[in-house]
Amino acid sequence: MTEALVAGLLAGYGIAMPVGAVATYLVALAARTTPRTGAAAALGVAAADGLYALLAVLGGAALTELLRPIAQPLRWASVAVLVLLALRTAWTAVRRYRAGLDPAAEDSPPSPARAFLLLLGITVLNPTTVVYFSALVLGRTQANTTAQAAAVFVLAAFLASASWQLVLATGGSLLGRLLTGPRGRLATALASAALITGLAAGLAVS
């Protein structure tokens, strides 16, 4: 059980810690909304990681082969969603800045439930996650293939991802409080939008 716990924690942190477009959007979202919304969004990412860890344990190589034909469409869908979110972030920030309002705010900020579902959906669109977990599961020894060990692995992966995503969301919330000036908030919103677009473009050509 200890080996499964450690393996799950390492797997969860391994997939969560590299900063990509989803992590960047999470930080930007947390910076312009409430801590509760940011935390809900973070848990949405972690839930997707946990779901893919579970599917990898249950499906393994079969699931990887099943996803292979649709991997490219999923990747392009993910890119499209991220670019649209980046454009919306930039457009909203500029419009509100010109109106003399808080550039980081939104007319109708997402509720915690909506933020959870949004980040869950974006993360689920990335087929790399399930391939990553499938490779880890297939590389484990037969001694760790019991139902109890599999459950521990999945739970540990989810908790590891959740803890890291919550750190990112907390950092975003603190960033939003520090940048109180309109110009600082506008610059942050535009920078995050540009970074998300760049990372999404990198995903498209990978």
Sheet strands (E) in the chain? none
Task: Name the residue among 49, 41, 62 with its Cα closest to residue 153.
Answer: 49
Number of C-beta neighbours around residue 59 at 10 A: 17
pLDDT along the chain (206 residues), means of 10: 80 78 85 90 93 77 66 74 81 80 66 94 76 62 64 90 93 75 73 77 70
Q: Is 12 in contact with 154 (CB distance < 8 Å)?
A: no
pLDDT of residue 180: 57
Between CA 150 and CA 10, with CA 12 as vertex, the angle to 5 degrees is: 85
At 20, the amino acid letter reads G
pLDDT of residue 135: 65
pLDDT of residue 142: 46
**Token digits of residue 155:** 């739970």
Round to whole Å and give the CA distance between 134 and 142: 15
At 60, the amino acid letter reads G
Round to whole Å and give the CA distance between 190 and 206: 24
